[in-house]
Amino acid sequence: MTNIDSIRRREGFAFLAAFAACIPAANWLIQNAGTFCVPNGPCLIPVAPGLTAPSGVLMVGVALVLRDLVQRRLGVIWSMLAIVIGAGLSAFFAPPALVTASLAAFLLSELADLAVFTPLQKRGLVLAAVASSLVGLAIDSIVFLGLAFGSLDYLGGQVVGKAWMVLLAIPVLRWLRERDAERGLLPA
């Protein structure tokens, strides 16, 4: 194994661990942290003036980008495994109804993210990650809110909150792309 391969694998497994932790963290946040917690509902945070979302929204936005980085470093098989690991871990951090909603939303959104990212990554990391994350965050928001709360009341907040996290990831993605080019760490 070359030094470049070793770096790719180490970074890939770091991205994998962070990705797998995002969904349990999101489920914990939804139940425990926010500026206001709805009785028998989610804890909410403001994501824009007059717009709130369940607090786990921040971790889901990060997860969408991290899944792309797992795929870029370790490949599609590891990316699929990461989706299954993240979904399975959520069972330890949330009640069954929330786990079911989270699992369905997570699997569908991450598979859509994978389907968009895979062909686009050849055209650029930032483009692929942003486009695939936008598709994934819309699907995740609709499926999760519909199943978890039987309502799309927080849809606007969900989409905006996740989009903020994707936008905040762009400078990191650019830095990774530039560093990868300098070090010869081309996409898998």
Among 148, 151, 161, 47, CA closest to 102? 148
Q: Which residue has the higher pLDDT, 160 or 76?
A: 160
Which pLDDT band holds residue 144 (cuts at 50, 70, 90)?
A: confident
According to CATH, the topology of domain 3-183 is Arp2/3 complex 21 kDa subunit ARPC3 (1.10.1760)
Mean pLDDT, residues 61-77 taken together: 86
Question: Which pLDDT belongs to residue 116?
Answer: 92
Q: Quick one: how many helices (H) and strands (E) in the chain? A: 6, 3
Which pLDDT band holds residue 15 (cuts at 50, 70, 90)?
A: very high
Q: Which residue has the higher pLDDT, 94 or 28?
A: 28
Mean pLDDT, the chain, as a whole number?
Answer: 85
> Whole-angstrom Cα distance, residue 155 to residue 114?
22
Question: Which pLDDT belongs to residue 188?
Answer: 43
Question: Which pLDDT belongs to residue 14?
Answer: 93
Mean pLDDT, residues 130-139 taken together: 89
Are 120 and 136 in contact, with CB atoms under 8 Å apart?
A: no
Are 183 and 4 in contact, with CB atoms under 8 Å apart?
A: yes
Going across the sheet that includes 43-48, the strands are 36-37, 43-48, 51-54
